[in-house]
Chains A and B, each alone.
Chain A
Amino acid sequence: GPKVLQIPSHQIIDMGQMVTLNCDPVSNHLYFYWYKQILGQQMEFLVNFYNGKVMEKSKLFKDQFSVERPDGSYFTLKIQPTALEDSAVYFCASSPDNANTEVFFGKGTRLTVV
């Protein structure tokens, strides 16, 4: 079936540095999402993105976070600067539209901030 690819699968970064998580969504999808999952806990909504714009973001989407999809390429989540509490698995998801359709998730990027 359709696949959302996330690169890299694991990234270790020093606190205070910038990190960019890359997501290659399903090709004809228009809605994109980032979720954060701390080990053993639920997935929490960070942000959704449509037509080049952030549609909605949660309180977890701090000022240090930003998303973009330049020229229809990767959908990226950038954290600058990183903090220890940003350590988590970040899941990217995409869907064709926002009504009654499956949201496809990637396998996640495990971010470790040390």
Chain B
Amino acid sequence: QQQVRQSPQSLTVWEGETAILNCSYENSAFDYFPWYQQFPGEGPALLISILSVSNKKEDGRFTIFFNKREKKLSLHIADSQPGDSATYFCAARDNTGNYKYVFGAGTRLKVIA
């Protein structure tokens, strides 16, 4: 049973387009949602994050839209570049107990020049 779901599994966009990566969750105890970017052979690196009290977070070309009522969020990558090609993981922090992070299965993004 996946607590954090991501779609699509893979996505291909042209350079300059906006890539939209989706994430949904079930656990109301999740209160913090970081997105991690992972290149092959590397560990995940934090890209951008949002707290559940906000509905939008922007950092340069990266924007998170968050809908708490529907338990959905999305990562928008504007003006996509070939260097953005990576796997993106949506994660959620459980604020009960010991604050563990639960990861989605990832979206593999490919940006074509």
Residues of A participating in the B interface, judged by any CB pair closer than 8 Å: 4, 6, 31, 33, 35, 41-45, 48, 50, 55-56, 91, 98-100, 102-108
Contacts and interface: CB of A to CB of B under 8 A. Distances in A.
B41 A98 contact: no
B42 A100 contact: no
B20 to A, nearest CB: 20
A107 B100 contact: no
Contacts of B99: 31, 48, 98-99
B46 A35 contact: no
Interface in B4-59: 32, 34, 36, 41-46, 49, 51
B44 A43 contact: yes
Given A106-B43, A107-B43, A98 B98 contact: yes
A44 B103 contact: yes
Interface bracket on B: 20 to 34
Interface of B: 2, 32, 34, 36, 41-46, 49, 51, 89, 97-106
Given A100-B32, A107-B41, A42 B89 contact: yes
Contacts of A31: 99
A107 B42 contact: yes
A55 B42 contact: no
Contacts of B45: 105
A42 B105 contact: yes
A7 B49 CA distance: 28
Contacts of B2: 42
A55 B106 CA distance: 26
B105 A45 contact: no
A98 B97 CA distance: 11
A27 B105 CA distance: 30
